Chains A and B, each alone.
Chain A
Amino acid sequence: MTTAIAGRRLRLLGQQPIGAAFVAPYAIFLAVVFAYPLVFAVYMSFHRYFFTAPGAIVDRPFVGLANYWTVLTDPAVARSFGNIAVFLVINVPLTVGLSLVLASALNAAIRFRTFLRVSYYVPYITASVAVVGVWMFLFNSGGLVNQLLGPLAPSPSWLINSSLAMPTIAIFVTWKQLGYFILLYLAALQNVPNELYEAADVDGAGRTRKFWSVTVPGVRPATTLVFILAMITGANLFTEPYLLTGGGGPDGASTSPVFLMYQKGIEQGQPDVASAIGVLLVIGVLIVSLASRRVLERGQ
């Protein structure tokens, strides 16, 4: 009898039902703060909707997929999704690779450790406006990079060149956030058991071998973390096209979906269309994140 009840409880609540209590504060927080705006955004995307003063009586008819149709047939939106794909293809692998390599190097370094850490971290914490200014100083047509390149400098220059604007932004964001991802890896590296390295030493493994056979598998959850976080923040790209390329320029070559959402939803008063873009973006990113998580966490 008791075992039957226990069995049912196990099926109903899981092995450690206390886990539910542990996540409860977070769940309540989500319900109180995010549920309403989220549900509301989805609601708006299916209606003709604009924000009004409280008490105003306006007709907000259900329009089915009309907003989605507007969005899907807008070449600017298609372009922004294309841009973000270019961005992610450059930014995510670069971020994952560089941050792991640099974190391992930093972990092994004895000298200048503090200095190196601080210098990785500074771009991440400095307000975007200022960092963007530094980057412009480097990459505008008379900037430092072009001066170094001399005749090899691209024309038109980086940020006003429609095929280079997005890659430049991707590299900028990689640079800006590298410090943060290095920190994530650095923390993960501390938890790779030393005896694994010692065992590899006994086997006579070289540095590269050790990196691939001990470090990489040892920080696998962190890799999932870095990969997914980099992708999510990348998909939400907004500040850089807003500030670095003066509003998604040149000619919309660096617009992003979130930037268009801002233009349409907040500047132009069409939150219904903006929500449709948002919902499409969220679905797209969720699918890619869940798929990549499956791949990255395989065999665990």
Chain B
Amino acid sequence: MNSGIFTGGVILCTVVFGLLAGYALAQLQFRGRVVMFNLVLLVQVVPFQLLLVPLYVLIVRNYGLGDNYLGMILPFAINSAAVFIFRQYFLQLPKEMFEAARIDGAGELSILWRVAVPLVRPALLTAVLMTFIGPWNEFLWPFLVTKQVGMQPLAVSLANYISTVAARATNPFGAILAGACVLAAPAVALFVIFQRYFVSTDVGSGVKG
């Protein structure tokens, strides 16, 4: 349940804001585009370990989001890697397609929604699956933000369980593997359900039409 809220929130933000930013960075000419794209790269390059403590102080102390779902989600809310992924896929689509839609008088938002998104459905799924994993397996951050057992996502409870059992069990590796399977199961299920959407409509027909 907590993992659901945690993960659901992250995926929604990643997809909506990631698509907007990725599309803009790939297909729109505006001031600050180059700077923004370099920022996308920068944020990914910076190791999380470098930011951990200042980020924790910022979120918990300055924003007062300790023991709060928002505090758990915030650092993962928009995934920079997803922005990068969307940009690269939108870049792959032929520019003429968007020009044509603009000449027809379509707004950028509707071009994004009607023309671009249907063509990058596989990328969308990749991004969802990818962001699904990050927060799902994330352990240290949610633990820092809340010590209330009731609010902790599955990974934290499991990691707790693993560290207690592994320290004292005869077969700690068995315990770890069992825990990892429980953790991986929902992701695998999601993947099996959605994987047929990986085959997309042919771009060629989009260009012609």
Q: Do A and B come from one complex?
A: yes
Residue contact A22 to B108, C-beta cutoff 8 Å = yes
* Chain A 1-28 per-residue mask, 1 if CB under 8 angstroms from chain B, else 0: 0000000000011111111101101110
Task: Give the docked Cα–Cα distance between A260 and B203 (Å).
Answer: 47
Residue contact B17 to A40, C-beta cutoff 8 Å = no
Let me know if B165 is at the binding interface, CB within 8 A: no
Measured between beta carbons, the chain B residues less than 8 angstroms from A235 are 45
Residue contact B200 to A191, C-beta cutoff 8 Å = yes
Residue contact B31 to A190, C-beta cutoff 8 Å = no
Task: Give the docked Cα–Cα distance between A37 and B53 (Å).
Answer: 8
Measured between beta carbons, the chain A residues less than 8 angstroms from B55 are 33-34, 36-37
Interface of B is mostly: helix
* Chain B 188-205 per-residue mask, 1 if CB under 8 angstroms from chain A, else 0: 100110011011101110
- Report the nearest B residue to A289, measured CB to CB: B41
Task: Give the docked Cα–Cα distance between A194 and B176 (Å).
Answer: 46
Task: Give the docked Cα–Cα distance between A29 and B108 (Å).
Answer: 22
Instruction: Sort chain A's interface into a size bin.
Output: 35 or more
Measured between beta carbons, the chain B residues less than 8 angstroms from A40 are 54
- Report the nearest B residue to A193, measured CB to CB: B204
- Which residues of A213-240 have CB atoms within 8 Å of chain B's CB atoms? 218-222, 224-225, 228-229, 232, 235-236, 238
Q: How many B residues face the partner with a CB closer than 8 A?
A: 82
Residue contact B28 to A19, C-beta cutoff 8 Å = yes
Let me know if B150 is at the binding interface, CB within 8 A: no
Interface-side segment among A67-75, A147-155, A166-174, A275-283? A275-283
Which of A23, A180, A191, A192 is in CB contact (< 8 Å) with B24? A23
Residue contact A127 to B33, C-beta cutoff 8 Å = no
- B142 → chain A, closest Cβ, in Å? 14
- A119 → chain B, closest Cβ, in Å? 10
Report how many A-B pairs have Cβ atoms within 8 Å.
Answer: 242
- B33 → chain A, closest Cβ, in Å? 7
- Report the nearest A residue to B42, measured CB to CB: A286
Let me know if B77 is at the binding interface, CB within 8 A: yes
Task: Give the docked Cα–Cα distance between A221 and B92 (Å).
Answer: 6
Measured between beta carbons, the chain B residues less than 8 angstroms from A289 are 41, 45
A187-B198 CB under 8 A given contacts A41-B50, A130-B177: yes
Residue contact A23 to B198, C-beta cutoff 8 Å = no
- A243 → chain B, closest Cβ, in Å? 11
Measured between beta carbons, the chain A residues less than 8 angstroms from B198 are 117, 183, 186-187, 190
Measured between beta carbons, the chain A residues less than 8 angstroms from B29 are 14-16, 19
Residue contact A190 to B43, C-beta cutoff 8 Å = no
Let me know if A160 is at the binding interface, CB within 8 A: no
Task: Give the docked Cα–Cα distance between A233 and B62 (Å).
Answer: 30
Let me know if A138 is at the binding interface, CB within 8 A: no
Let me know if B120 is at the binding interface, CB within 8 A: yes
Residue contact A23 to B129, C-beta cutoff 8 Å = no
Let me know if A208 is at the binding interface, CB within 8 A: no
A13-B30 CB under 8 A given contacts A238-B47, A266-B52: yes
Task: Give the docked Cα–Cα distance between A246 and B49 (Å).
Answer: 19
A25-B20 CB under 8 A given contacts A18-B28, A41-B50, A117-B195: yes
Let me know if A268 is at the binding interface, CB within 8 A: no
Which of B54, B83, B179, B195 is in CB contact (< 8 Å) with A41? B54
Residue contact B122 to A13, C-beta cutoff 8 Å = no
Measured between beta carbons, the chain B residues less than 8 angstroms from A117 are 191, 195, 198
Task: Give the docked Cα–Cα distance between A195 and B85 (Å).
Answer: 25
Let me know if A188 is at the binding interface, CB within 8 A: yes
- B197 → chain A, closest Cβ, in Å? 10
Residues of B within 8 A of A (CB): 17-18, 20-21, 23-25, 28-33, 36, 38-39, 41-55, 58-59, 61-62, 74-75, 77-78, 81, 83-85, 88-89, 91-93, 108, 119-120, 122-123, 125-126, 129-130, 133, 137, 155, 162, 173, 176-177, 179-181, 183-184, 187-188, 191-192, 195-196, 198-200, 202-204, 207
> Which 4 pairs of residues, A with B, have the shortest CB-CB distance?
A130-B180, A19-B28, A19-B30, A187-B122
